[in-house]
Chain A
Amino acid sequence: MTNYALEEILPLLEENIRKYTSNESTSVRNDTAKRLLRSILYCLDDKAFNHTDETLNELVTNDLNINEVYHNALKTKKEKIIYTKRLYDHIMDNFYYVNNRCYLETIRKGFPCFFERYDIQYDAENHILTLDYPLYQEVTGLCGIDLIYEYLSRIQIEQELMSHFEQSKVKDMLYSFDEDYQELIYNLCKVVLRCALGLSMINKDIYKLVFSEDDLKYLTSILSDKSQVELESLLNNELERVLKTLEIDSDIYYQYFRSDLHDFSVEILNALKYKHLEQVFPSRIKQYEKNISTYQDGIQMNDEELRKLIDEVRECRYISDKLSLVNEHIHSLSDLKELLSEAFFTGEYLEVFWLLQEAELKFLYDEISERLQFSKELEEWENEFILFYQSKFNVIR
């Protein structure tokens, strides 16, 4: 926390209240004042505010008053929002698609809303998102833009690791762990890395992400006489090997991923004790692709309702509001197609495609591809959809 006295901060609070009320109200509710005060303190917070040496010197010699310090800190935070947005865009450009609802909704759907609504000056501690998707290593003790930046930095590290594995292999592995993997709330990267560590211990190809019966037996034999400390040290070595194989062996990755090794070693020992190692390392592989359910269209809206919805969606200012309306009202792909033609514009289509389940995407792709054979004219969103689908599922034209 800052070392500033309340007397020094009060003029800043006064200025911010004046700006907050557009100079149209002399008083505000206590909770509003507290929120504004906390936002000021958030910017002034020593831990988060990166003082340059020059600024520190000026502070020491009292050449810089608190007003200047605050405005510099606010500027720094605003810059942080900009480069956090850049980081997010970078993550999205190389997004590793796994059909897990929590993962997709937290990262794909949640963050655009954050960047639209986050208010550093008047509500700095409120980061809006609940960040339901658990990280490999959770962020603690931060809030506001600092938390979001840290969360995204960690997502970036995890995405980098996952990107070395084939999507279909990851899907197969997750599916063999639990058929409901799409609905579960867990860290996907942790499952992938643990599997790779297991394979590395028995010198198998870490990219295949699957264990045979013999692999498990062999693994049991080499692990059964290990103490927890020995196992943790073995996992440490294997982690180094795996990261080297993946060519991401810098210290940042190593420090980040080793945080789970203690828990992992305890889980392995437990699994060995109760003879269910297959629950830690996947051995029964069910081909995921074969299990995609056949798509069945939902109930269509009547024309009048649909027309009303189209008008409503068109009037929305933010894409997040449009998506909420789609989520709430659309139960049929036919209605969605109508809506995409009438109420969405260039640059917005991708966000809608991300709402769809895999079976729906496949159905839509087959339908558009079929039409493409007979007619060369496609609508703008259809062209974009084809590109989206092909890049997402590595479909070769």
Chain B
Amino acid sequence: MDDNKIWSLIQIQQKNEIQKVIECNEYTKKYGVILSEKDVIELYHSRKDALIEQERIELGGSILPKLIFQFCDSAYIYQDNYLEMLEGLQDIFYLYKNESLDELTDDELLEYMKEHFEEECQGSLDYLADTCLEDYCRNLREGNLRIHINRGEYEDD
């Protein structure tokens, strides 16, 4: 498969998606955070880099709108660090999709990230990536975790 060709095709799709992400501002502005078109384009560039680095392909819509809805009300995110945080969270998201061997659905991973980002990480992306998710995905790979998909609960065996 010619990866470059696929990426150029995916970029065509992105034009529509950029509009969708900008529309998220309607919802997020009540939390005091919005993205300009330039920010969204930057986010899509970093998304492309993250996907290439993690050797993943995303078709039919990106994770960004979900990421925005999940994190826009965070106590640790405000307008000045909004773009930077979304970029970081996006990178972490794709990394740990791989690290969890795709055992976690998008919603499960985002839910876990949000919960720990707010609580023990206190807004630290490094702590979230290098400690919480690292431990969690290692346990998952070793089969020490039961995922209660319907209830969104995670328990150690």
- A and B interact physically: yes
Interface of A with B (CB < 8 Å)?
Answer: 6-7, 10, 13-14, 17-18, 21, 24-34, 37
- Name A7's closest neighbour in chain B (CB-CB): B9
**Can you show 6 pairs from A to B with CB atoms below 8 A apart?**
A10-B6, A14-B59, A21-B105, A25-B97, A28-B56, A33-B57
| Complex contacts, B51 vs chain A, CB 8 Å | 27
Of all A-B residue pairs in the complex, the 3 with the closest CB atoms, nearest first, are A24-B105, A27-B58, A14-B59
| Complex contacts, A28 vs chain B, CB 8 Å | 56-57, 102
Question: Which of A17, A18, A29, A34 is close to B98, meaning CB atoms less than 8 Å apart?
Answer: A29
Q: Is B120 an interface residue (CB 8 A)?
A: no
**Stretch of B60-68, B72-80, B123-131, B139-147 that contacts chain A:** B60-68
CB of B13 to closest CB in A, whole Å: 9
A26-B60, A29-B102, A32-B102 known; 8 other A-B pairs, CB under 8 Å? A25-B102, A25-B105, A26-B106, A27-B57, A27-B58, A29-B55, A29-B98, A30-B3
Residues 78 to 109 of chain B near chain A (Cβ within 8 Å): 94, 97-98, 102, 105-107
- Name A33's closest neighbour in chain B (CB-CB): B57
User: How many of B's residues come within 8 Å of A, CB to CB?
Assistant: 24
Interface of B with A (CB < 8 Å)?
Answer: 1-3, 5-6, 9, 51, 55-63, 66, 94, 97-98, 102, 105-107
Contact B59 A17, beta carbon cutoff 8 Å: yes
CB of B130 to closest CB in A, whole Å: 22
- Name A25's closest neighbour in chain B (CB-CB): B106
**Interface SS of chain A:** helix
Q: Compute how far the CA of A199 lies from the CA of B121 in the bound complex, rounded to whole angstroms.
A: 84
| Complex contacts, B107 vs chain A, CB 8 Å | 24
- Name A29's closest neighbour in chain B (CB-CB): B56
CB of A363 to closest CB in B, whole Å: 42
Contact A13 B59, beta carbon cutoff 8 Å: yes
| Complex contacts, B97 vs chain A, CB 8 Å | 25, 27
| Complex contacts, B5 vs chain A, CB 8 Å | 6
| Complex contacts, A33 vs chain B, CB 8 Å | 1, 57, 59
Q: Compute how far the CA of A28 lies from the CA of B63 in the bound complex, rounded to whole angstroms.
A: 12
Q: Compute how far the CA of A6 lies from the CA of B59 in the bound complex, rounded to whole angstroms.
A: 13
Question: Which of B9, B56, B106 is close to A6, meaning CB atoms less than 8 Å apart?
Answer: B9
| Complex contacts, B55 vs chain A, CB 8 Å | 29-31
Q: Compute how far the CA of A25 lies from the CA of B59 in the bound complex, rounded to whole angstroms.
A: 10
Taking each of A10, A13, A24, A26, which has the highest tally of chain B beta carbons within 10 Å of its own beta carbon? A26
| Complex contacts, A31 vs chain B, CB 8 Å | 55
